[in-house]
Amino acid sequence: MGVMLKNPVRWHGGRDCPCDRRSGELGLVWASDPSVISGYAKQARENPGLLGIYSAMGARSGDFSHHVADVIVDMTKQADWIRKKDIKRFDDKIKSYEVKNDKTKKITRPFKDFPGITSPEIEKYLYTPGKGGARKAIADVMEKASFRNAGFPDLSVVRTVVSDPDMRYRVNDPSAMLAPTGGRIVRFDAEPMTPIGGEGNIPRFHKTYRQAISGEDLGALEMPVPRSLIFPEFFARRRAEGTKMSSDRRSAEISNVLQRITPEIATDVEVYPDMYRRGLLGEGIL
């Protein structure tokens, strides 16, 4: 959008996190919140040789990361054309932003202490442990037309710019059955290291996340395949339980989905690229 960032944004990656130079030097293959990494480590100990298979999330999944947050904070601070009353209106929206707990259904306003989008303390605030939701909230609010029309950064442009070119046009179906899967495959160590040292403005390995897990980077599939092709049991189980397809995406992306790779699945993955190129898939991939 013609704005030169004052603070360069490091692409730690999602899909390419394992091949980041810093991750490679430390032998780390994935980074996330401690609650997630602890689940990976437990499964790796119980299942020696456990693979981690990357599967693309929705277009707004990057809002949680530093990639989107750092860009919109930098751009907003430089946008001297935005009126002070609109800056205050935005700050007030964040302070009153409501979050609903999926389990308890309780609604809270966790960002009442928001210092302001142009505050000198904003960078420190956004990378205080547990403030990932605040990063997501500023993107969620700023994408509203009233703020875009007031001169705030255009979130559709920011999300595109910080995404890997190969991932900008990923399938975004509600069920996530077609979500591109296999763009990175890792093998977790049987006794993995799980160092803490990420999250913050001077991270050891990843600015967004506090913890990582060790393993081996195995590369990627020649062509990513639909999520349903590698994890068929997950989708079959949900259909048997009568759950709505529209809730599959959220369930898959907040769960540790386990699937034994059978010869049948391996064969399906192997022939998929050729069938795709020849236009022979139709609806059979579902």
pLDDT of residue 285: 44
Report the candidate in 159, 275, 260, 165 with the shortest Cα–Cα distance to residue 225.
275
Taking 80 as the threshold, does the pLDDT of residue 168 lie above it? no
The model's pLDDT over 209-227, given as tens digits with 9 standing for 90+, comes to 888 999 999 999 989 999 9
What pLDDT score does 228 carry? 92
CB 75 within 8 A of CB 58: no
Neighbours of 269 (CB within 10 A): 20
pTM tops 0.85, yes or no = no
CATH number at 17-58+173-277: 3.10.590
Q: How confident is the model at residue 169 (pLDDT cuts 50, 70, 90)?
A: low
CA–CA dist 211, 30 (Å, integer): 9
Give CA–CA dist 171/56, Å, rounded.
Answer: 9
For residue 173, what pLDDT is reported?
73
Residue appearing with tokens 């296999």 = 182
Q: How many CA atoms lie within 13 A of 9 on its CB side?
A: 21
CA Rg, the chain, in Å? Answer: 20
Neighbours of 80 (CB within 10 A): 6
Q: What residue ranges do the domains of the chain occupy?
A: 17-58+173-277, 61-161
For residue range 85-121, what is the model confidence (pLDDT) as tens digits? 999 999 999 999 999 887 788 999 999 999 999 999 9
CA-CA-CA-CA dihedral for 247, 250, 251, 252, to nearest 10: 120
Alpha carbons 229 and 286: distance in angstroms, whole number: 8
Length of the chain equals 286
Helix (H) or strand (E) run with residue 55 in it: strand 51-55
In sign, the C-alpha dihedral spanning 252, 198, 212, 183 is positive
- pLDDT given at position 260: 95
% of the chain surpassing 70 pLDDT: 92
Decide if pLDDT at 284 tops 60.
no
Give the residue, 250 or 198, on which the prediction is more confident.
Answer: 250
